[in-house]
Amino acid sequence: MNGQVSREAPAKLNLTLAVLGRRTDGFHDLHSVMVPLALADTVTLAVAAGIGKDTLRVMGVAGALRVTPDNLVLQAIAATRRAVRTTWPGAPESPPLLTARLTKRIPVAAGLGGGSSDAAAALDAALDAWGATLPRDVARSVAASIGSDVPFFLAGGAALVTGRGEHVEPLPPFRGVAPAVLLVTPQLQVPTRAVFAAYAAGARSPGGSARVLSERLTAGIRNGMTAEALAERAADLVTANDLLPAALVVVPRLGEFRQALSGLLGLPVGQSGSGPTAWVLCPSLSAARKAAALVRQSAASALPQLGDGPPFVAATSIVSGAQ
């Protein structure tokens, strides 16, 4: 067993998000091109003695986050323990309890998959801490049992995500310099469940263009897309999210916020997942940093205030896998 193990837990960006229909299990089938970002949380686990249960401490941007038993990091540790209980090196004894420390840099309930990424990192770190292994298909099954986005984060790069999130097809890395992204997240949480409820009630765009755009982007990446070619598609990609109309029903002023941000930067603005995070593709990381500085300087006068305080702003890049 290893004494202490740390894993980075990257944010994700939905470059496209097409909702194909409701399944019999209550979830929705999706077609989404997802990419991990350099912006990441850190999950650190350590084997502990003298404690009665797995524990979690949270620091960073979500330092005030109340830790409850249904936290995805604790769920991931518990699910992983059940999966390796009879096969880990110390069997038949159960894998020992763990203390977890989560350093949050990704905003909570922002459409960036922070909780799901933390869970995937905890799953991988727990295996390492216990000296245990799981076959890849079993690990994916455990991940899917925790949450729809969790299997994506085990892939380690850009991927086409289908089903409710359990089918993850790795995609080639972008050629050349990594694409850069500006993230702007209003200081309010938009629960995914509320957005899907609004979508189910009819808040959606007609025509199915998100799926067409998602399929085109998938084909382009498979054929060796560059960061420049991705940026050229920005005006189309920002329309390729079937959950955007529903998010605007849940938070009506989000539309005004997005329009103001687009006007400030003179660039198309997309939405990641169920929102509220707005994303902007930039030609370089330095350009993303300049855009971030402009947003921070101008937010009070140029953007509607949503929630408490100024928006979270970050310049980051897409991590699409090894070249």
Q: Which residues are within 8 A (CB) of 281 and not within 5 positions of it... i.e. 6 or more apart? A: 179, 180, 181, 230, 231, 234, 237, 267, 268, 270
Active site residue 290: no
Q: Which of 12, 54, 104, 242 is catalytic?
A: 12
Q: Which of 54, 149, 290, 308 is catalytic?
A: 149
Only one residue has tokens 């103001």, namely: 260
Q: Which residues are within 8 A (CB) of 219 and not within 5 positions of it... i.e. 6 or more apart? A: none
181 within 8 A of 317, measured Cβ to Cβ: yes
Active site residue 118: no
Closest CA to 54 of 72, 84, 87, 78: 78
Q: Catalytic residue positions?
A: 12, 149
